[in-house]
């Protein structure tokens, strides 16, 4: 969903744009390759220290940290639950979507559109699925946030 998966997709896109492998990034940041792979695939949550190391390695001017901070544990759980229809869309979920979309937009300004195409496409599909199945005031609020992002 929007949280960890987007972090991993964004980092992988930035690595590709700089022609750097996950192994090389792991070596450069002093992290285990297997651990970094789990984080980038969304199977494990990144730490703030890892996010900062990758931000510095990829020269993203603090924007990867902004994306990392845009998704706390509670927001991640909320967006996962909203996406899987376990709970209804609410104001906090709309705010969480907005924070992630804003961070992605700022990263696009630094990296250029190429590396952000796949993360942005995945995020758009996730938001569209939520919009398709939601109703009420918060649906309209999310539609506004999404329209501004697009």
Question: DSSP 3-state assignment of 107?
Answer: helix
End-to-end CA, the chain:
18
What is the structure's pLDDT at 72? 73
Q: Which residues contact 52 (CB under 8 A, 6 or more apart)?
A: 65
Task: Split the chain (150 residues) into runs of 10 and give each run's mean pLDDT.
Answer: 65 89 96 94 89 93 84 78 85 87 79 75 83 89 86
DSSP string, 59-113: T-TTHHHHHHHT--HHHHHHHHHHHTTSS---HHHHHHHHHHHHHHHHHHHHH-H
- Among 142, 137, 52, residue whose Cα is nearest residue 94: 142
135: exposed, middle or buried (C-beta count within 10 Å: 0-12, 13-18, 19+)?
A: exposed
Residue 99 is encoded by which pair of tokens?
């924070």
Q: Give the integer Cα–Cα distance in Å for 83 and 63.
A: 25
What is the structure's pLDDT at 20? 94
Q: Give the integer Cα–Cα distance in Å for 82 and 58.
A: 32
What is the structure's pLDDT at 67? 81
Number of Cβ within a 10 Å radius of residue 121: 11
Residue 123 is encoded by which pair of tokens?
């995020």
Task: Give kind and range of the element (H or E) at residue 89.
Answer: none
Q: Give the integer Cα–Cα distance in Å for 68 and 33.
A: 20
pTM: 0.66
């Amino acid at each position: 969903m929007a949280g960890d998966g987007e972090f991993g997709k964004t980092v992988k896109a930035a690595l590709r744009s700089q022609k750097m492998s996950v192994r090389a990034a792991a070596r450069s940041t002093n992290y285990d390759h297997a651990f970094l792979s789990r984080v980038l695939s969304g199977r494990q949550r990144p730490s703030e220290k890892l996010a900062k190391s990758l931000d510095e390695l990829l020269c993203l001017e603090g924007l990867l940290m902004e994306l990392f901070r845009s998704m706390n544990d509670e927001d991640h759980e909320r967006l996962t639950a909203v996406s899987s229809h376990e709970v209804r869309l609410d104001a906090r979920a709309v705010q969480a979507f907005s924070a992630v979309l804003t961070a992605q937009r700022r990263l696009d300004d630094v990296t250029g559109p190429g590396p952000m195409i796949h993360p942005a496409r995945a995020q758009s599909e996730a938001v569209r699925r939520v919009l398709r199945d939601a109703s009420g005031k918060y649906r309209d609020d999310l539609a506004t946030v999404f329209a501004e992002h697009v």
